[in-house]
């Protein structure tokens, strides 16, 4: 699995720049991927309009994590 390629695909699909530092990756059993860019106490998630991803923001409204709900669509 090429995580850089997946993140580049997310950037292209949602027309946004993601942080370059990845703190942790968590692969789910349902084909999902959680990418944490920095630690945040209580991140707030906002699903995308197409329902394929959730972007999580920290207290300063900075992107702190991303959950890709169907990884096969971004590989």
Query: What is the tens place of the pLDDT at every residue in 56-67?
Result: 999 888 999 999
Please give the share of the chain, as a percent, with pLDDT higher than 70: 100
The pLDDT value recorded for residue 9 is 95
Strand order through the sheet with 33-36: 24-27, 33-36, 63-68, 53-57, 44-47
Q: How many domains does the chain have?
A: 1
56, 40 Cβ separation under 8 angstroms: yes
Taking residues 11-16, report their average pLDDT: 96
Structure pTM?
0.90
> What is the span of the domain harbouring residue 36?
3-73
Question: Under DSSP, is residue 58 helix (H, G, I), strand (E, B) or coil?
Answer: coil
DSSP conformational letter for 73 = G
CA atoms within 13 A on the CB side of 35: 19
């Amino acid at each position: 699995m090429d995580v850089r390629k997946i993140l580049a695909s997310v950037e292209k699909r949602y027309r946004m720049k993601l942080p370059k530092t990845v703190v942790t990756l968590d692969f789910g059993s349902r084909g999902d991927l959680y990418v944490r860019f920095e630690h945040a106490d209580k991140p707030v998630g906002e699903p995308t309009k197409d329902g394929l991803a959730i972007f999580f923001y920290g207290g300063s409204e900075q992107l702190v994590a991303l959950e890709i709900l169907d990884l096969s669509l971004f590989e």
